[in-house]
A and B are shown apart, each in its own frame.
Chain A
Amino acid sequence: MSAMIDVVFLLLVYFILTFKIEPLEAHMTVNMPSPSTVPGQPPPVLLEVKILPDRYVLNGVGLTLDTVERTIDDLTRDDRSQTLIIKVGLNAKQHQLISLLDRCEKLDLENLNVLTLKY
């Protein structure tokens, strides 16, 4: 019987040592352009945010994240299902995109499209 207790004890020690708490993660849903080779008609653009390494650009005006959030909030107050196009510059950081998607989630925007700016 004592052998079994030894084994159980070893297992317990093993599980205690390898126990890790699952990290909390948020998964943000985005739409991507379909991989079609024929260039289609560009959809009517309602809202377009560009992410550049040092700033966000909304309809041609350079802004900070907070002002972008406030402006989008104002512009989509009537219709939260509006399509938002996010164009990300190649030199922008991933956390800038995540922060913007996070703010969009806060505003309950669902139609988020991520495109890449080729510069």
Chain B
Amino acid sequence: MRKASDLEIETPITSMIDIVFLLIIFFVVTSTIQKEAIDRDLQLAKSQYTDPADLEGSKVIINVRPGPSITVGMQRLNLHNLKIMLRKLKNKETPIVIRADGGMTYREVDLVMAAVGESGMTRIRLAASAEN
């Protein structure tokens, strides 16, 4: 007969790994969605003299492709829905960054800028690529 002290005491490591894995998947998925606020396929116009801005922080980033096709945080919006979304923002001082493709005509950018202005937002920024 074996004594109790001979029994090996093991922590249940397999189930712990499962939980850790699930947690990591959760964090990876959520952080990826936040990063995609930027549409990387847009060809921004180049700037040479303006200092690079911090992409973090609270701001609304509006990606505009020719069309105009508007995306905010991976979500496609039309001008009407964009206005509704911006009107819901309580803080009208929230910076609005318009990332418009450099090759677009201003006619299309103007529609977006007018929509932002009509929503009562006051701080508008135009994005340019600061990479050399």
**Interfacial residues, chain A to chain B (CB-CB below 8 A):** 1, 3-4, 7, 11, 14, 18, 20, 22-35, 51, 88-99, 101-103, 105-106, 114, 116
Residues of chain A within 8 A (CB-CB) of B50 are 26, 28, 101-102, 105-106
In the complex, the answer to whether A98 meets B24 with C-beta atoms within 8 Å is no
**Cα A57 to Cα B120 with chains together (Å):** 30
B1-23 vs A: 1/0 string, CB under 8 Å?
Answer: 00000000000011001001100
In the assembled complex, the CB of B10 is this many whole angstroms from the nearest CB of chain A, namely 11
10 A-B pairs, CB-CB below 8 angstroms? Answer: A4-B17, A25-B55, A25-B128, A28-B125, A90-B110, A93-B105, A94-B101, A94-B103, A99-B47, A101-B47
**Cα A63 to Cα B53 with chains together (Å):** 30
Residues of chain A within 8 A (CB-CB) of B118 are 35
In the complex, the answer to whether A90 meets B17 with C-beta atoms within 8 Å is no
In the complex, the answer to whether A97 meets B126 with C-beta atoms within 8 Å is yes
In the complex, the answer to whether A101 meets B102 with C-beta atoms within 8 Å is no
Interface residues of B in 93-131 (CB under 8 A from A): 95, 97, 99-107, 109-110, 113-114, 116-118, 120, 122-131
